[in-house]
Amino acid sequence: MSSAGEHKQEFIFRGIAVSPGVVHGKAYLLSRLEPEIPSYPISSDQVDSEIARFEDAIMTTRQQIANLRDQVSQKLSEIEAQIFDAHLLVLEDKALIEETEGELRKSLYNIESCFNQISQRYIDFFSNLEDDYIKERANDIRDVTRRLLRNLAGENQPNLASLSEPGILIASDITPSEAALIDKNTVLAIITEHGGATGHAVIMARSMGIPAIVNLSKATSRIPSGCQVLVDGYEGTLVVNPTTDTLFRYGEIQVHKDSIRRIFLSELEHPAQTTDGHAVELLANIEDSEDVTRVNESGAEGIGLFRSEGLYLRSNDFPSEDEQFEEYVKVVRGMESRPVIIRTLDLGGDKVLSKAMVGLGENNPFMGFRAIRFCLKNKDVFKTQLRALLRASAEGNLKILYPMLSGVSELLEANRLLEESKDELRHRGENFNEKVEVGAMIEIPSAAQVAPELARHSDFFSIGTNDLTQYLLAVDRVNDEVAHLYQPAHPAVVRTIKQIIDAAKVANIPIGVCGEIAGETPYAALLLGLGLRELSITPPNLPEVRYILRRLALKDMEDLASNALQCGDPQEVQQLLDIFTRDKLDPLLKEAIGNLKAEE
């Protein structure tokens, strides 16, 4: 058998497929291990050469940080690039450098061990201070210390923002703030050892159209950096050193998937309506104003969820009112008069903004200082965003959505701050939509229980099934140890969704779902059967959902839902979904493939 890497053996690994697509390229290992810190005595004649090594490493580090700064300034903006100025300042800190050299002369130990010792002292000092802003300096020193130690050891620096050439990123895990900086042109696919299907980094990969596999056990130790790998993001398979036969086979799979996709895309002009005439509103989930073009290409009728925290994570800071206004207005104008639901800041959980959360050390961040809880405590941050949103509301059909409400008092307090923000804008003579609609995300079980009360103070509901599932089942959405227990098909989830829909119906307010399951066809059918008529979906999945639901009768979906509501066990609901897929969805896909063959 001929092989791409001629005499290298092909290996196959399996993980969980979380973002579709087949790609092939060089593996790029993101090593997050702490750098090695060798420690050995030196003679006094070696002092000068150790200092020369130190000076070289400082120069290299300075150059790397300056390059990174340029990249971020071009990709994002000058303001965002300024975070690297703090890192450059560390390298100019005379005390740190002189104390290191002093320690070297005194102890006659190698430069790595002296530098690490002195910088640790500074890190400990800053970490123990009360002031959060000053504490942040400890992180700057830690980052620069790691980078410098790696340079002393001649190791490569991990850099997610952009790979030097297109490649497949292999990491133990990726944080949402790292994912926010990923360059779609160079990161062809993402493979991680940990993480669940609804972690925010995965959601970002999916919405950027980057294939991804999570839960690939020991990926960083089993896949050599620099080797050729093939990623199948449909099945969760990774092939190391693929043979030409394997590449050919997967090439055909991709061609086939592309053709099916073209069929799905050919229906965008047709209304999203079931065979028995029930219209469904299909909206898009986005993270960035740049996603608007892809939203338009996906045929969405608007934006059902703009996760605004992307703006904060990309800049690693709190953007100003004007910066936010520009971002929101871009989206609103890009969608013309179609609805744009912008969710207020949902930081916390797996989305950590070091500036905001430094020193918190929460044991259960998903249950902690997150989303609306953070905003109601940081009123200035929240009101800055509310003013930016209100100003953008003058430019189109913008609606505001509050995440992670646990009860009515938080909603009332958020609305009170919204009124204050309106007053401030009136005072400044700024335009905004006086009747801007305000929605509540229902994603915490307590909110589901008090949905009738929340509905009295909301213009609409949006069900966040990603969190609703994690909180109802007490299963951390990013912990791979319990990933098998994360079951959106659990009867508790299905029944709770129904309960929320009923509350919205009684209150006569619109309701949609914006969790990831809305983009999976069997679940989309279940949700429509439960009574939903609005689904907000990651753009790459939207054409398929439209194609399929145009060929289904609501009656069949209602039967599926009413059967699911009778189940007491997740396996029973899963079985119903599997049967529905086999009997109703698979034949539609087969028919699409048949039409495709007939056309060819």
Residue 7 bears catalytic tag: no
Residue given tokens 């119903």 in the structure block:
576
Q: Which 3 state secondary structure label does DSSP give 122?
A: helix
H or E segment to which residue 536 belongs: strand 534-537
Q: Is the CB of 138 or the CB of 404 nearer to ligand PEP?
A: 404
* CA within 13 Å, CB half, 541: 30
200 given a catalytic annotation: yes
Q: Which of these ranges, 179-187, 437-445, 520-528, 555-563, lies near Mg ion under the rule CB under 5 A?
A: 437-445
What's the distance, Cα to Cα, between the start and end of the chain in Å?
31
Under the binding rule (CB under 6 A), the answer on residue 496 touching ligand PEP is no
Query: CB 477 → Mg ion: shortest distance, Å?
Result: 9
From 307, 370, 391, 422, residue interacting with ligand PEP (rule: CB under 6 A): 307
Which range, of 323-331, 415-423, 464-472, 552-560, touches ligand PEP by CB under 6 A? Answer: 464-472
Answer yes or no whether residue 396 interacts with ligand PEP by CB under 6 A: no
Q: Which two tokens stand for residue 435?
A: 């009747």
Catalytic residue among 114, 375, 514, 567: 514
* Calpha distance 488→465 (Å, rounded): 8
CB-nearer residue toward Mg ion: 17 or 513:
513
Measured at the alpha carbon of residue 533, what is the angle toward residues 530 and 539, in degrees to the nearest 5?
115
Among the candidate windows 389-397, 445-453, 462-470, 577-585, which touches ligand PEP by CB under 6 A?
Answer: 462-470
Q: Which residues in 368-448 belong to E strands, given as ranges?
A: 398-402, 437-442
Among ligand PEP, Mg ion, none, what does residue 465 contact (CB within 5–8 Å per kind)?
A: ligand PEP
- Closer Cβ to ligand PEP, 35 or 176, answer by number: 176
CB of 200 to ligand PEP, least distance (A): 6
Find, among 367, 363, 324, the residue nearest to 349 by Cα.
367
Applying CB under 6 A, the site for ligand PEP has a residue count of 11
Q: Is 543 in the site for Mg ion (CB under 5 A)?
A: no
466 binds ligand PEP (CB under 6 A): yes
Name the closest residue to ligand PEP (Cβ). Answer: 464
Q: According to the binding rule CB under 6 A, does residue 514 interact with ligand PEP?
A: yes
- Written as six digits, the tokens of 250 are 């997967």
334 binds ligand PEP (CB under 6 A): no
Closest alpha carbon to 162 in 315, 25, 20, 28? 28
- Identify which range of 66-74, 149-157, 424-432, 459-467 contacts ligand PEP by CB under 6 A: 459-467
Where residue 549 falls (left for φ over 0; alpha for ψ -120 to 50; beta otherwise) is alpha
Q: Which stretch binds ligand PEP (CB under 6 A): 51-59, 103-111, 334-342, 463-471?
A: 463-471
Q: Tell me which of Mg ion, ligand PEP, none is bound by residue 544, counting a contact when its beta carbon lies within the kind-specific cut-off of 5 to 8 angstroms.
A: none
What is the C-alpha to C-alpha distance for residues 556 and 274, in angstroms, rounded to an integer?
Answer: 10
Whole-number minimum distance, CB 371 to Mg ion, in Å? Answer: 8
Strands 187-192 and 340-343, bridge-based pairing: unpaired
Q: How far apart are CA 36 and CA 149, in angstroms?
A: 8
Q: Does the footprint of ligand PEP cover residue 467 (CB under 6 A)?
A: yes
Q: Using CB under 6 A, pick the residue from 173, 193, 317, 346 that binds ligand PEP.
A: 346
CB nearer to ligand PEP: pick between 404 and 592? 404
Q: Does 534 bind ligand PEP (CB under 6 A)?
A: no
- Dig out the tokens for 265 from the structure: 């895309």
DSSP state of 218: T
For 21, the 3-state DSSP assignment is: coil
Cβ 17 to ligand PEP shortest distance, Å: 18
Closest listed residue to residue 392, CA positions, set 329, 436, 333, 337: 329
- Beta-bridged to residue 12, according to DSSP, are 239
Which CB atom, from 443 or from 556, has the smaller least distance to ligand PEP? Answer: 443
Scanning 70-78, 208-216, 328-336, 441-449 for contacts with Mg ion by CB under 5 A, the matching segment is 441-449
Residues 185-204 that bind ligand PEP (CB under 6 A): 203
Instruction: Judge contact between 233 and 257, C-beta under 8 A.
Output: no
Smaller CB distance to ligand PEP: residue 101 or 346? 346
Nearest distance from residue 464's CB to Mg ion, in Å? 4
Please list every residue from 334 through 353 that binds Mg ion, using CB under 5 A.
Answer: none
Name the H helices within 214-320: 219-222, 244-265, 292-298, 309-315
Token pair belonging to 44: 């006094």
Binding partner of 83, given Mg ion, ligand PEP, none, CB within 5-8 angstroms per partner class: none
Q: Pick the closer one to ligand PEP by CB: 112 or 309.
A: 309
Could you say which of 87, 194, 200, 490 is catalytic?
200
- Hey, which residues between 453 and 482 contact Mg ion (CB under 5 A)? 464, 467
Other Cβ atoms less than 10 A from the Cβ of 24: the count is 20
Burial label, 497 (beta-carbon count in 10 A; 0-12, 13-18, 19+) = buried
Number of residues assigned to the chain: 600
309 binds Mg ion (CB under 5 A): no
**CA–CA separation, 442 and 309 (whole Å):** 18
Tell me the helices (H) and strands (E) count for the chain, helix number first.
26, 16
In the bound state with Mg ion, the residue whose beta carbon lies nearer, of 140 and 288, is 288
- As annotated, the active-site residues are 200, 514
Instruction: Name the site residues for Mg ion (rule: CB under 5 A).
Output: 443, 464, 467
Instruction: Name the site residues for ligand PEP (rule: CB under 6 A).
Output: 203, 305, 307, 346, 443, 464-467, 514-515
